[in-house]
Structure 1
Amino acid sequence: MSGSKTNAMKRKAVLEAVRAIPPAQDFVWDGSDEDDRPAAAVELAAGIDAARRKRGRPVGSGTKEQVAIRIDHDILEAFRAGGPGWQTRMNDALREWVKKHPTP
Protein backbone atom coordinates (compact mmCIF):
# COMPACT_ATOMS: atom_id res chain seq x y z
CA MET A 1 0.00 0.00 0.00
CA SER A 2 1.52 3.35 -1.01
CA GLY A 3 1.47 6.54 0.99
CA SER A 4 2.08 7.26 4.63
CA LYS A 5 0.42 5.30 7.38
CA THR A 6 -2.18 7.27 9.29
CA ASN A 7 -3.17 4.52 11.70
CA ALA A 8 -0.74 2.58 13.84
CA MET A 9 -3.40 -0.05 14.69
CA LYS A 10 -3.22 -3.41 13.03
CA ARG A 11 -6.19 -4.82 11.13
CA LYS A 12 -7.06 -7.25 13.91
CA ALA A 13 -7.09 -4.47 16.54
CA VAL A 14 -9.33 -2.29 14.35
CA LEU A 15 -11.82 -5.13 13.84
CA GLU A 16 -11.93 -5.84 17.57
CA ALA A 17 -12.52 -2.17 18.33
CA VAL A 18 -15.36 -1.98 15.79
CA ARG A 19 -16.98 -5.14 17.14
CA ALA A 20 -16.77 -3.70 20.67
CA ILE A 21 -19.03 -0.76 19.72
CA PRO A 22 -22.50 -1.39 21.18
CA PRO A 23 -25.37 -1.71 18.68
CA ALA A 24 -27.49 1.39 18.15
CA GLN A 25 -30.64 -0.24 19.58
CA ASP A 26 -28.85 -0.82 22.88
CA PHE A 27 -28.17 2.90 23.33
CA VAL A 28 -29.91 4.33 26.39
CA TRP A 29 -30.27 8.09 26.58
CA ASP A 30 -30.17 9.39 30.14
CA GLY A 31 -31.85 12.71 29.19
CA SER A 32 -29.01 14.86 30.47
CA ASP A 33 -27.82 16.27 27.13
CA GLU A 34 -30.14 16.96 24.18
CA ASP A 35 -27.20 16.73 21.77
CA ASP A 36 -26.67 13.09 22.74
CA ARG A 37 -30.33 12.13 22.15
CA PRO A 38 -30.72 9.65 19.30
CA ALA A 39 -32.89 10.78 16.40
CA ALA A 40 -36.49 9.62 16.44
CA ALA A 41 -37.92 7.71 13.49
CA VAL A 42 -39.95 10.78 12.46
CA GLU A 43 -36.82 12.93 12.45
CA LEU A 44 -34.93 10.38 10.39
CA ALA A 45 -37.78 10.19 7.86
CA ALA A 46 -37.88 14.00 7.60
CA GLY A 47 -34.16 14.02 6.84
CA ILE A 48 -34.65 11.50 4.05
CA ASP A 49 -37.49 13.57 2.55
CA ALA A 50 -35.34 16.69 2.68
CA ALA A 51 -32.54 14.90 0.87
CA ARG A 52 -34.90 13.83 -1.95
CA ARG A 53 -36.07 17.40 -2.70
CA LYS A 54 -34.56 18.95 -5.77
CA ARG A 55 -32.55 22.12 -5.60
CA GLY A 56 -33.29 25.23 -7.61
CA ARG A 57 -36.44 27.15 -8.37
CA PRO A 58 -39.72 25.75 -7.10
CA VAL A 59 -42.03 24.18 -9.62
CA GLY A 60 -44.50 26.68 -11.05
CA SER A 61 -48.27 26.39 -11.00
CA GLY A 62 -48.39 25.35 -14.65
CA THR A 63 -51.05 27.96 -15.43
CA LYS A 64 -48.70 30.72 -16.56
CA GLU A 65 -46.44 31.07 -19.55
CA GLN A 66 -43.25 33.09 -19.70
CA VAL A 67 -43.16 35.57 -22.58
CA ALA A 68 -41.00 38.48 -23.68
CA ILE A 69 -43.05 41.65 -24.07
CA ARG A 70 -42.09 45.29 -24.56
CA ILE A 71 -43.93 47.74 -22.31
CA ASP A 72 -43.72 51.55 -22.47
CA HIS A 73 -41.36 52.95 -19.84
CA ASP A 74 -43.99 55.10 -18.10
CA ILE A 75 -46.42 52.18 -17.74
CA LEU A 76 -43.75 49.90 -16.37
CA GLU A 77 -42.56 52.55 -13.88
CA ALA A 78 -46.14 53.11 -12.69
CA PHE A 79 -46.55 49.42 -11.84
CA ARG A 80 -43.07 49.15 -10.31
CA ALA A 81 -43.72 52.23 -8.13
CA GLY A 82 -46.30 50.16 -6.23
CA GLY A 83 -43.50 47.99 -4.83
CA PRO A 84 -43.20 44.22 -4.75
CA GLY A 85 -45.94 42.33 -6.58
CA TRP A 86 -46.01 44.69 -9.54
CA GLN A 87 -46.05 41.81 -12.01
CA THR A 88 -49.10 40.30 -10.31
CA ARG A 89 -50.84 43.69 -10.36
CA MET A 90 -50.02 44.06 -14.05
CA ASN A 91 -51.45 40.59 -14.70
CA ASP A 92 -54.62 41.52 -12.78
CA ALA A 93 -54.99 44.74 -14.79
CA LEU A 94 -54.68 42.81 -18.06
CA ARG A 95 -57.20 40.24 -16.81
CA GLU A 96 -59.68 43.03 -15.99
CA TRP A 97 -59.18 44.55 -19.46
CA VAL A 98 -59.84 41.19 -21.12
CA LYS A 99 -63.11 40.79 -19.13
CA LYS A 100 -64.29 44.23 -20.27
CA HIS A 101 -63.22 43.70 -23.87
CA PRO A 102 -64.17 40.13 -24.86
CA THR A 103 -62.85 38.92 -28.20
CA PRO A 104 -65.43 37.93 -30.83
Structure 2
Amino acid sequence: MSRKTNIIMPTDEEDARINQGIALDRDNPEITEADFQDMKSASEIAPALAKVRRVRGPQKAATKRSVSLRLDQDVLEKFKSTGPGWQTRINEALRRATVAH
Protein backbone atom coordinates (compact mmCIF):
# COMPACT_ATOMS: atom_id res chain seq x y z
CA MET A 1 0.00 0.00 0.00
CA SER A 2 1.46 3.32 -1.05
CA ARG A 3 1.52 6.13 1.50
CA LYS A 4 2.22 8.80 -1.08
CA THR A 5 -0.38 11.53 -1.30
CA ASN A 6 -1.11 13.68 -4.28
CA ILE A 7 -0.27 17.15 -2.99
CA ILE A 8 -1.36 19.91 -5.30
CA MET A 9 0.72 23.02 -4.76
CA PRO A 10 -0.92 26.40 -5.40
CA THR A 11 0.13 28.40 -8.39
CA ASP A 12 1.96 31.69 -7.84
CA GLU A 13 -1.31 33.57 -8.43
CA GLU A 14 -3.21 31.40 -5.92
CA ASP A 15 -0.39 31.78 -3.42
CA ALA A 16 -0.49 35.57 -3.82
CA ARG A 17 -4.29 35.60 -3.20
CA ILE A 18 -3.85 33.42 -0.10
CA ASN A 19 -1.13 35.72 1.28
CA GLN A 20 -3.29 38.77 0.53
CA GLY A 21 -6.15 37.23 2.50
CA ILE A 22 -3.80 36.57 5.41
CA ALA A 23 -2.56 40.17 5.34
CA LEU A 24 -6.14 41.52 5.39
CA ASP A 25 -7.24 39.38 8.35
CA ARG A 26 -7.28 41.86 11.26
CA ASP A 27 -8.33 39.18 13.76
CA ASN A 28 -5.33 36.99 13.07
CA PRO A 29 -2.32 39.06 11.96
CA GLU A 30 0.92 37.44 10.93
CA ILE A 31 3.40 37.18 13.80
CA THR A 32 6.42 39.45 13.45
CA GLU A 33 9.91 39.06 14.85
CA ALA A 34 9.04 41.68 17.50
CA ASP A 35 6.00 39.61 18.51
CA PHE A 36 8.23 36.58 18.98
CA GLN A 37 10.61 38.62 21.18
CA ASP A 38 7.71 39.77 23.39
CA MET A 39 6.25 36.29 23.90
CA LYS A 40 6.20 34.73 27.35
CA SER A 41 6.05 31.06 28.28
CA ALA A 42 2.79 29.51 29.44
CA SER A 43 4.29 28.94 32.89
CA GLU A 44 4.86 32.70 33.23
CA ILE A 45 1.34 33.66 32.16
CA ALA A 46 -0.71 30.89 33.80
CA PRO A 47 1.48 28.80 36.12
CA ALA A 48 -1.45 26.74 37.43
CA LEU A 49 -2.47 25.72 33.94
CA ALA A 50 1.07 25.03 32.81
CA LYS A 51 1.52 22.45 35.57
CA VAL A 52 -1.53 20.43 34.51
CA ARG A 53 -0.40 16.96 33.63
CA ARG A 54 -2.61 14.64 31.68
CA VAL A 55 -2.80 11.11 32.92
CA ARG A 56 -4.32 8.01 31.50
CA GLY A 57 -7.89 7.41 32.64
CA PRO A 58 -8.97 4.38 34.61
CA GLN A 59 -9.00 1.05 32.81
CA LYS A 60 -12.39 -0.45 32.07
CA ALA A 61 -11.19 -3.74 33.49
CA ALA A 62 -7.96 -3.77 35.47
CA THR A 63 -6.07 -6.65 33.90
CA LYS A 64 -2.51 -5.72 34.83
CA ARG A 65 -0.70 -4.28 37.83
CA SER A 66 2.23 -1.93 37.92
CA VAL A 67 5.16 -3.41 39.85
CA SER A 68 8.79 -2.61 40.48
CA LEU A 69 11.06 -5.43 39.38
CA ARG A 70 14.84 -5.76 39.39
CA LEU A 71 16.30 -7.50 36.36
CA ASP A 72 19.87 -8.26 35.38
CA GLN A 73 21.23 -5.56 33.07
CA ASP A 74 21.99 -7.98 30.24
CA VAL A 75 18.47 -9.44 30.33
CA LEU A 76 16.90 -5.99 30.26
CA GLU A 77 19.14 -4.79 27.42
CA LYS A 78 18.36 -7.92 25.40
CA PHE A 79 14.60 -7.27 25.61
CA LYS A 80 14.97 -3.53 24.99
CA SER A 81 17.16 -4.17 21.93
CA THR A 82 14.19 -5.90 20.26
CA GLY A 83 12.40 -2.56 20.01
CA PRO A 84 8.99 -1.28 21.09
CA GLY A 85 6.87 -3.83 22.92
CA TRP A 86 9.75 -5.18 25.01
CA GLN A 87 7.70 -5.00 28.22
CA THR A 88 4.97 -7.09 26.62
CA ARG A 89 7.58 -9.62 25.52
CA ILE A 90 8.92 -9.85 29.10
CA ASN A 91 5.36 -10.46 30.29
CA GLU A 92 4.94 -13.23 27.70
CA ALA A 93 8.23 -14.86 28.73
CA LEU A 94 7.17 -14.82 32.38
CA ARG A 95 3.78 -16.27 31.46
CA ARG A 96 5.46 -19.13 29.55
CA ALA A 97 7.71 -19.76 32.58
CA THR A 98 4.72 -19.96 34.94
CA VAL A 99 2.92 -22.41 32.65
CA ALA A 100 6.04 -24.59 32.43
CA HIS A 101 6.27 -24.82 36.24
TM-score of the superposed pair, with normalisation by structure 2: 0.43
Whichever of the two has the greater Rg, that structure is 1
